[in-house]
C-alpha cells in the first residue's frame, strides 16, 4: 500500500526550484515562550499540539535569492488520566526560522514569482527548518523542565494540509499561478 507521501503531487515549478536552489542561510527570526501553569505533582506524561505556518517570497533586493519563513507553535500540557478530561495548557513555545535560498540560474530566477516560492516553501521550507525548530522547542521545553519530545519531521502526519492550505491562500489572494 503506498504511503500518503507517495500520493502527494509536487507541482512542476517546485521540482524546478528544488533542482536549482541552494540554502544560503538559516536563522532564528522570532521566538516566544511562556510557562503558564505547572502541575503541583511532577508528571512525565505530557501531551502537545503542534501547528505550523509558512511564508515565502522573492527577496526584494536580492537578485537570485528567495526567502522562506517557517514557523511552529507548540502547546504543552500534562497528560490526562485515561478517560479524563484535557488538562490546562502548561506552556507555549513558538518560533519562526528564516531560510535564504540562492538560485544561481538568473534566467530561471526571473521566471518565478512569490506564489512559486510559497509553494516551494510549503514543502522544502518546513523540511529544511524543522531540525532548527525542533531543537529550539526542545531546548526551551527542557529549560522549563517539561519533558517534551518533538517528533521527527513527517509532513503528512504533522502538517497534512499545509500544501493544500497554501494553494487555497494563493488562489484567494489572486497571486499569479
What's the CATH number where 120 sits? 3.10.420.10
165 sits in the region (left: phi over 0; alpha: psi -120 to 50; else beta) called: alpha
Indicate whether 60 belongs to any domain: yes
Domain-located, residue 35: yes
13 found inside a domain: no
Confirm whether 8 is domain-assigned: no
Whether 157 maps to a domain, the answer reads: yes
Rounded to two decimals, the pTM is 0.85
Rounded-to-integer distance, Cα 98 and Cα 101, Å: 10
Share the mean pLDDT of the chain.
87
The residue segments making up the domain with residue 49 are 21-79+86-169
- Give the dihedral of Cα atoms 161, 164, 169, 172; nearest 10 deg: -130
For the chain, how many structural domains are there in total?
Answer: 1
Counting DSSP H helices and E strands in the chain, the numbers are 7, 4
What's the mean pLDDT in 146-157? 84
Residue 94 parent element (H or E): strand 91-103
pLDDT band at 2 (very low <50, low <70, confident <90, very high): very low
The residue-averaged pLDDT of 117-123 equals 91
> Strands 46-58 and 91-103: what pairing?
unpaired
**pLDDT-based confidence at residue 167 (cuts at 50, 70, 90):** confident
Q: What is the pLDDT of residue 6?
A: 45
pLDDT at 14: 92
Task: Evaluate whether residue 14 is within a structural domain.
Answer: no
Q: Taking the chain, what is the end-to-end CA distance rounded to the nearest angstrom?
A: 33
Given pLDDT bands bounded at 50, 70 and 90, which one contains residue 5? very low
Tell whether the model's pLDDT for residue 1 goes beyond 60: no
Separation of alpha carbons 53 and 130, rounded Å: 12
For 121-149, the pLDDT digits (tens) are: 988 999 999 999 999 999 999 999 888 98
Q: Computed over its alpha carbons, how large is the radius of gyration of the chain? A: 19
* Structural domain includes residue 31: yes
29 pLDDT above the threshold of 60: yes
Q: Is 175 part of any domain?
A: no
The percentage of the chain sitting over the pLDDT mark of 70, rounded to a whole number, equals: 92
Amino acid at each position: 500500500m503506498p504511503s500518503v507521501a507517495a500520493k502527494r503531487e509536487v507541482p512542476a515549478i517546485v521540482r524546478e526550484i528544488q533542482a536549482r536552489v541552494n540554502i544560503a542561510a538559516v536563522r532564528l527570526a522570532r521566538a516566544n515562550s511562556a510557562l503558564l501553569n505547572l502541575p503541583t505533582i511532577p508528571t512525565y506524561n505530557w501531551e502537545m499540539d503542534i501547528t505550523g505556518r509558512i511564508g515565502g517570497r522573492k527577496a526584494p533586493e536580492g537578485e537570485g535569492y528567495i526567502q522562506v519563513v517557517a514557523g511552529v507553535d507548540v502547546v504543552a500540557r500534562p497528560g490526562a488520566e485515561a478517560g479524563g478530561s484535557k488538562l490546562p495548557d502548561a506552556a507555549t513555545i513558538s518560533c519562526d526560522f528564516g531560510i535564504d535560498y540562492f538560485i544561481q540560474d538568473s534566467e530561471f530566477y526571473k521566471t518565478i514569482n512569490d506564489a512559486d516560492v510559497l509553494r516551494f516553501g510549503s514543502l522544502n521550507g518546513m523540511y529544511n527548518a524543522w531540525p532548527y525548530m525542533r531543537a529550539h522547542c526542545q531546548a526551551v521545553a527542557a529549560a522549563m523542565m517539561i519533558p517534551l519530545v518533538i517528533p521527527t519531521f513527517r509532513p503528512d502526519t504533522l502538517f497534512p494540509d499545509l500544501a493544500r492550505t497554501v494553494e487555497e491562500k494563493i488562489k484567494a489572494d489572486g497571486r499569479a499561478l
